[in-house]
Amino acid sequence: MAQTEQLAGQMGFLTDAAHLLARSAPETSAYLLSQRNAVLLSHDVIPSDSQKEHVCGGCGHIMIPGHGDFLKIHVEKAVLRRRSGSRITLGQQQQQPKQGRKERWAGPAKVYTCGMCHRYTKLGLSAPEPIRRRRKRPTVEVQGQAPMASKAGVDKTGQQASNITPGTMPSANASSKKRAKNRKAGLQALLSQKQNETANKSGLSLADFLSK
């Protein structure tokens, strides 16, 4: 318990002193924080990610992006490589998936570059959740409904056909006969009219004209 309190007090003193000397004496500040990191490693204490992105793990420099230090978001893609000259069949690939391959997993990462020693510190970020797309549900046809619908349609059509009697059905021959009959009646009327006019004209004589 006493050793833990002593270690915490020592770490607090080195941290406060390094931050006070960060602008006036940056080399001294970096040396104090490097000693702090060495003490933590000697006690098997791993610095957290927030401490790694704040203090360089190589020289102890306090990193401030935009003031001589750099921050970059790096995205890696998954790469699967196979050694040159080696051929792996499908069966061997299933049995020994790691043999002859180098795997590098994808994921975004923050890369800090120290402005004093130019060492970079890479901190991984949690990958975003994959985009889930809704799949269209396939339509399921219930067996037995389609035949019943078709049968109902056939019955309805047959019922409509049975309601029409043979006498009420229109016929092309009947309409053509009716038109021919009308034409014949019209021609007979014209002939009778011409005959009447001819008979009236034939009854006139020269005396009729002279009397007028």
Note the pTM of the prediction, 2 decimals: 0.45
pLDDT computed for residue 193 by the predictor: 79
Q: Which two tokens stand for residue 183?
A: 């034409």
Place of tokens 């034409």: 183
Rounded CA-CA distance 64/73 in Å is 15
pLDDT band at 140 (very low <50, low <70, confident <90, very high): low
Q: Which residues of 61-73 are buried (b: 16+ CB within 10 A; e: fewer)?
A: bbbeeeeebeeee
Average pLDDT score over residue span 194-201? 68
pLDDT band at 16 (very low <50, low <70, confident <90, very high): very high
Average pLDDT score over residue span 78-98? 50
Q: Which two tokens stand for residue 123?
A: 């901190």
Average pLDDT score over residue span 32-52? 88
